[in-house]
A and B are shown apart, each in its own frame.
Chain A
Amino acid sequence: MDKNISFTLKIWRQRGPKEQGAFETYHMEDIPGDTSFLEMLDILNEQLVEKGEEPVVFDHDCREGICGMCSLYINGHPHGPATGATTCQIYMRRFSDGDTITVEPWRSAGFPVIRDLMVDRSAYDKIMQAGGYVSVNTGAPQDANAILISKDIADEAMDAASCIGCGACVAACKNGSAMLFVSAKVSQLALLPQGKAEAARRAKAMLSKMDELGFGNCTNTRACEAECPKNVSISNIARLNREFIKAKLAD
């Protein structure tokens, strides 16, 4: 059985994008080890509401690691201490009695803080809108099996496509670069025959949108890959570079 722990939380509180934020300290007593990190924050919020205070705002939804909504920077890591997991998949048994746990929002110029730990990631939608699709209308395309795709390619595309758009890569990157996110989508569609026709256009459009939105330049530190909850590889970034350079040279 998991034992209960008590610890100190240092949580970033900020009213709005333009306002000055600061850390608030909260003491949590007797939290069972099998409580998830977000359930622990629920408990904190219940306590705050009971005291008549406003709860800590943070993004969360599916709580099973797939929607990409949760986005906390815990003790110096996006999504906390575990690898290959989102914040909602972290359980308190990972922490020890007496710990101080620092919780911050994603910090990047591309993701301004909305309130407390909630940030605005609409930039990702804008990058997707710039070209993250295959231009095919709903209708009657050819039979699904008419396009043969080798298992290796399908698996590799799937690995790239497993990106959940949480933004941990940007949060982890000292350059605030969104290359891992962009490259995952570009890779998925560049690998598959369906997406090849407009691969060049897509790479250029998505990359220039990323640049335009103020994300930084990738310097290959690999922090994104290390912190990605879905283990998306930087080999996708190499592919994006290749696609982009090829497209520009062809112009």
Chain B
Amino acid sequence: MTKIDSKIPEGALAEKWTNYKNHQKLVNPANKRRLDIIVVGTGLAGASAAASLGEMGFKVFNFCIQDSPRRAHSIAAQGGINAAKNYQNDGDSVYRLFYDTIKGGDYRAREANVYRLAEVSNNIIDQCVAQGVPFAREYGGTLANRSFGGAQVSRTFYAKGQTGQQLLLGAYSALSRQVNKGTVKLYTRYEMQNLVIIDGRARGIIARNLVTGKLERFAAHAVVIATGGYGNTYFLSTNAMACNCSAAIECYKKGAYFANPAYVQIHPTCIPVHGDKQSKLTLMSESLRNDGRIWVPKKLEDAKRLQRGEIKGADIPEEDRDYYLERRYPAFGNLVPRDVASRAAKERCDKGYGVNNTGLAVFLDFSEAIGRLGEDVVRQRYGNLFDMYEEITDENPYKTPMMIFPAIHYTMGGIWVDYELQTSIKGLFAIGECNFSDHGANRLGASALMQGLADGYFVLPYTIQNYLADQITVPRFSTDLPEFAAAEKEVSDKIAKLMAIQGKESVDSIHKKLGHVMWEYVGMGRTKEGLTKALSEIKTLKKEFWSNVFIPGKADDMNIELDKALRLSDFLEMGMLIAYDALQREESCGGHFREEHQTEEGEAKRDDANFSYVACWSYQGEDKAPELLKEELNYEFVKVQTRNYKS
């Protein structure tokens, strides 16, 4: 069996990263100018990496599918970014952030990676402030913090409800500066379609120009993918419409392992689904759980009347309300981690206590906070979120409690990377949500921004040099090499095949079916039976797609249906991969919940003896089951225990 080497440096936990940096190979400035790096994606990870590599003197080619780097979906993160600054003097430390992240991730993340993440978290805040990110401040001029799910300290830095936006604009500014200097060349409205491998090393990509429809070849000494997660496999998610997993899946098909695909985060506070024409779910920031209380009726008949629309939430008296998170988890209450909160909501709704017409919603109530703080303070804190809620639902959350339900939000799984963020293909790196590295089986709130920026600003720019130091004598590659021609032909053949089908179904209609299967069987509660069924249904859908999809227009032209079809072909692969992984993981941990494996109280039951590993999936060919490889997780520094948010 293939041995998986995660290249974790020797030494004490707190010294690993310093030791690594002290001993890694570097590239001198003259040589940096001769080395090209492709960075695919311009979200927090991609933009920060491209900017930092450009600053160092590498020649960077940076790609994004939107019209500008600033559109990447990192921009939609609302709540904040964690750092172990301990500005609030509440006992925070690098170790505590590390520990909370490991625990939040249900002991399925690598200790060394997570410790490094916690270590650089403080540099991120310093860097972002230096760039002019307008974080919230106290009257005395110091930085303000708020608390977030899964932590007992206030370590979350924020910029109104738009932290992701401000951090992304900071990275985008840094990137723009490098574009101006000529170190980064930007390609907008381009989508990566294939990876080019020469002599076992990633040396370039094939990208499709989304305006002209033409395929173009790009060569470099190393390729970095920062293309985000695969949440849109479920069709309905909080991801942006263009978010997709094609770059990751194409790398997987070329030999990069895909790790832990079953770890999908379902966010507890989203606006419930309202109709079958819906294209996108809207997230309400987790920060709402700071002041909002989550409840359903105690009495089933009240729930039924709510579902029929006969009464409103406000009509139910205090004593008939079940604040089930506060009841079940007294220590953390409404601030339990996302996976716990989501499952608890599902549990209540499954039992029939749902509060809207579909029975798939719970209340998030601010009446207590409004009473305690006054409407003005609540408006100041959450006004923009309340306005957004009202526009979408036509209900005033100051008067009636909000309705929320969990939705697919983030994917902890991703392309497998070692400590250096290098994938199992030499010269191919994966950063940000696109890789699997730091969140284990569940991500804590305000940690995605932290990881994206950590990878892009402070980790990859170092570790990639350890690889590139050996490449300084390698001249630039010509894109006329047969490897480029072959990779391009793979894509053009695929496109030709898709265009030739001329079937009867639209891309979206098949995607919706996929989403339905995924949510039903590979969603919040999974069973062996359901997952087996999902696999066979996705296989059927895949056949349906490749024989009956209809794409109007031409291949070598702007064609938004073709764009979507190419993405869907990879979502179908991804769906199967998630199901395979969920099926093999006979335990419940973090975002992965197998109904066969729960305690009597309905809590997740982990199986550390048999499943304390990273599941790495290796592609075996079209229509063949992928091979499972295991990277054992050795906890040297933290005692593995059952997560407890009760006391």
Contacts and interface: CB of A to CB of B under 8 A. Distances in A.
Given A38-B279, A125-B188, A138-B51, A69 B71 contact: yes
B186 interface: yes
B242 A145 contact: no
A39 B278 contact: yes
B55 A158 contact: no
Interface in A62-120: 62-69, 82, 84-85, 89, 91, 93, 114-115, 120
Given A39-B279, A42-B508, A63-B280, A129 B67 contact: no
Nearest to B242: A61
A220 interface: no
The size class of the interface chain B forms with chain A is 35 or more
A42 B277 contact: yes
A149 interface: yes
B70 interface: yes
Given A46-B506, A62-B76, A194-B129, A132 B188 contact: no
Contacts of B280: 39, 63-64
A147 B75 CA distance: 25
A154 B129 CA distance: 11
Contacts of A141: 126-127, 129-130
B275 A192 contact: no
A195 B283 contact: no
A170 to B, nearest CB: 14
Interface in B544-561: 550, 552-553, 558-561
Interface stretch (A49-57, A232-240, A243-251): A49-57
Contacts of B458: 138
A50 B551 CA distance: 10
Main secondary structure of the interface of A (DSSP, over half): loop
Contacts of A46: 506, 508-509
B73 interface: yes
B348 interface: no
A32 interface: yes
Contacts of B240: 61-63, 67
B70 A68 contact: yes
B162 A162 contact: yes
A2 interface: yes
B279 A144 contact: no
Interface in A25-43: 32, 34-36, 38-39, 42-43
A208 interface: no
B509 A140 contact: no
A199 B68 CA distance: 24
A125 B134 contact: no
Contacts of A120: 67
Contact of B67 (A59, A128, A154): A59
B564 to A, nearest CB: 10
B293 to A, nearest CB: 24
A142 B275 contact: no
Contacts of A188: 132, 134
A65 B282 CA distance: 10
Given A61-B240, A133-B131, A2 B394 contact: yes
Interface string B593-608: 0000000000000000
Contact of A149 (B126, B141, B387): B141
A135 interface: yes
B169 A161 contact: yes
B508 A162 contact: no
Interface in B65-118: 66-73, 75-76, 85, 87
A121 B186 CA distance: 14
B610 interface: no
Contacts of A36: 279, 392
Interface stretch (B28-36, B173-181, B334-342, B617-625): B173-181
Contact of B142 (A32, A53, A145): A145
A63 B552 contact: no
Contacts of B637: none
A147 B139 CA distance: 13
Contacts of A135: 177
Contacts of B508: 42, 46
A188 B71 CA distance: 19
B529 interface: no
A138 B174 contact: yes
Interface in A122-153: 122, 124-125, 128-145, 147-151
A189 interface: yes
Contacts of A59: 67
Contacts of B127: 136, 138-139, 141
Given A122-B67, A138-B51, A60 B166 contact: no
A57 B553 CA distance: 12
Contacts of A176: none
B160 interface: yes
B140 interface: yes
A164 interface: yes
A150 B137 contact: yes
B510 to A, nearest CB: 12
Contact of A144 (B52, B125, B180, B461): B125
Contact of A61 (B85, B241, B309, B391): B241
Nearest to B70: A165
A165 B143 CA distance: 26
Given A114-B211, A120-B67, 15 more contacts: A34-B275, A39-B280, A64-B238, A64-B388, A67-B72, A125-B68, A129-B179, A134-B132, A138-B55, A147-B129, A149-B137, A151-B141, A154-B134, A158-B134, A165-B68
**Closest CB pairs A-B (n = 9):** A148-B141, A133-B173, A141-B130, A154-B137, A157-B134, A158-B134, A144-B129, A138-B52, A63-B280
Interface of A: 1-2, 32, 34-36, 38-39, 42-43, 46, 48-50, 52-55, 57, 59-69, 82, 84-85, 89, 91, 93, 114-115, 120-122, 124-125, 128-145, 147-151, 154-155, 157-158, 161-162, 164-165, 188-189, 192, 194-195
